[in-house]
Amino acid sequence: MEALQIIVAIFILALASSLTFASDPSPLQDFCVAINDPKGSVFVNGKFCKDAKLAKADDFYFSGLHIRKNTSNTFGSTVTPVNVAQMPGLHTLGISMVRIDYAPNGGLNPPHTHPRASEILVVLEGTLHVGFVTSNPDNRLISKVLYPGDVFVFPVGLLHFQYNIGNTYAVAFAGLSSENPGVITIASAVFGSNPSINADILAKAFNLDRKMFLLFLEQDFKQKEVFICHAKFLNLLPSNSKQPAKSTYIIMKGIRSILIAFGLFAFACLSASAYDPSPLQDFCVAIKDIKNGVFVNGKFCKDPKLAVAEDFFFSGLNRPGNTSNPVGSNVTMINVDIIPGLNTLGISLVRIDYAPYGVNPPHTHPRGSEILLVVEGTLYVGFVTANPDNRLFTKILNPGDVFVFPFGMIHFQFNIGKTAAVAFAGLSSQNAGVITIANAVFGSNPPINPDVLVKAFQLNKNVVKYLQSRF
């Protein structure tokens, strides 16, 4: 009976762990390429999976993220997503990517939330004022001005924004910790829902009576058409109305009210999220000092009230890494050890520099999938599936191309061009880990018994010893 109790206890612990350590649902196979045809497929996480033997490199590939998008719209920004809808091989891998273009002088990615993902953003061009707001009751605004090479983190479910304060175009790329993170643009959700939210509800939420709420809208929207549209959404004007009583220049005073009113909603979204162990607070900034700290996911957490913008910030990803080494590549890792605010958020970022003909040698990430974007140069990339098939999926990538390396698969990148290459990649863990195959096999400490490697690799013992001497 004692043995049975132990088994039951282990089962319960394992079940609890599966609830705590969650990512986009863990697949029981190397990958699950999403398809619309259910014939001969398996249903996983809302998508049917293609027969793994029919998967091809294009399932893990997207091209065109180098192209500047049109920002001639109300907000002066355009978001180009690369999620499971654009790249079916992302299914179950818990990662996706976006490119964001901002018009000069005020291009805005307006206040919004991602109900299923944290976000790590790197600026490539321009100057952005960014920020996020914590949940009730504090509703703290944590903000920063970012320049090229700067990195900032937006915790899962929290309201956040980016605003171009420069007089030139701005461009940013971001990794998100879900194959389909979702977007809730606050203004659209509040004032543009279908059917519209009752005006009395919103008037009460923003502490205005119905007439004052109409005046609030009238004063806070620049364009008459915008005002009429929102007023009609709230049933405050008849459907045939052509203009309000008056229209004044847009001001930002209403945004803070919106952010505060929906802080609780953003916090509620956390319960539906899945990523590195689920926090029961907005974020958990890692600290080394255990005094007044809380231990979460191998790190002590700073008191949230003491968190500052620098906890979510890194500068310098615009600087090339030194590729003067035997493999001709350099990986600059931005994980929880570099940005402590990443703790528990299930996302991290790397910059990879490649010398001409440089290689990021075959390796695995034991705790994360990877989505890679080429910014400069031409890379030959690939990954190998698990036993027994050991299929190699490869692709040649040019600037703007995106490729996915599934969780735990051995993968590589090789610069086949005559010039230096640069790539950025998001990983679906705050600390994805790296196992470089050659180093682990032939350079372990202490060394693996040569007899083991002789048999495993079917090599002469002298060859094994020579390889071990090289690492």
Q: Which of 128, 120, 78 lies closest to 99 in space, CA to CA?
A: 78
Give, for 441, the enclosing helix (H) or strand (E): helix 437-442
Q: Is 179 annotated as a binding residue?
A: no
Total Cβ atoms within 10 A of residue 405? 29
Q: Is 164 annotated as a binding residue?
A: no
Contact 349, 410 (CB under 8 A): no
Q: Is 365 annotated as a binding residue?
A: yes
Which residues lie closer than 8 Å to 465 by C-beta, 6 or more apart?
450
Alpha carbon separation from 70 to 161, 168, 291 (Å, rounded) = 19, 14, 50
Q: Is 363 annotated as a binding residue?
A: yes
Lookup: tokens for 89: 């091989």
**Can you spell out the DSSP letters for 56-120?**
-GGGGEE--TTSPPP--SSSSEEEEEESTTT-GGGTTS--EEEEEEE-TTT-EEEEEE-TT--EE
Alpha-carbon span 357 to 362, nearest angstrom: 15
Q: Is 91 annotated as a binding residue?
A: no
Lookup: tokens for 155: 């915790």
Kind of pairing, strands 299-301 and 47-49?
Answer: unpaired
Kind of pairing, strands 47-49 and 42-44?
Answer: antiparallel
Contact 114, 157 (CB under 8 A): yes
**Can you spell out the DSSP letters for 144-199?**
EEE-TT-EEEE-TT-EEEEEE-SSS-EEEEEEESSSS---EEHHHHHHS-SSPPPH
Binding-site members are 360, 363, 365, 370, 411
Binding-site annotation, residues for oxalate: 360, 365, 370
Which residue ranges make up the annotated binding site for Mn(2+)?
A: 363, 365, 370, 411
